[in-house]
Amino acid sequence: MYNIKRIKDLREDNDLLQKEVAHELKITRQQYGLYETGERKIPIDKLIILAKMYNTSIDYIMGLTDIKEPYPKN
């Protein structure tokens, strides 16, 4: 399971509303709200979008690392 607090913190750090993130993910605000509360798992395709949006890694979003910067591209 991903780190619920991280996706909310990332959203707030970027001064975004749930509805704005939901729009980028092409889902409803209600669906996104379920991601933030942990009631619904985020599909990998949505995790990829979030990682790109926030310029971080999926591992950071999931709580597998505390390094916020994305992995370098070769």
Task: Name the residue range of residue 34's domain.
Answer: 4-62
pLDDT band of 70, cuts 50, 70, 90: confident
Is residue 74 included in any domain, yes or no? Answer: no
Is residue 49 included in any domain, yes or no? Answer: yes
Instruction: Scan for tokens 């597998």, then name that residue.
Output: 64
Tell me how crowded residue 64 is: count the other CB atoms within 10 A of its CB. 12
**4-22 pLDDT, tens digit each:** 799 999 999 999 999 999 9
Tally the residues of the chain: 74
SS3 category, 55? coil
Total number of domains constituting the chain: 1
Q: How far apart are CA 43 and CA 71, in angstroms?
A: 20
**9-63 pLDDT, tens digit each:** 999 999 999 999 999 999 999 999 999 999 999 999 999 999 999 999 999 999 9
pLDDT band of 1, cuts 50, 70, 90: low
Is residue 29 included in any domain, yes or no? Answer: yes
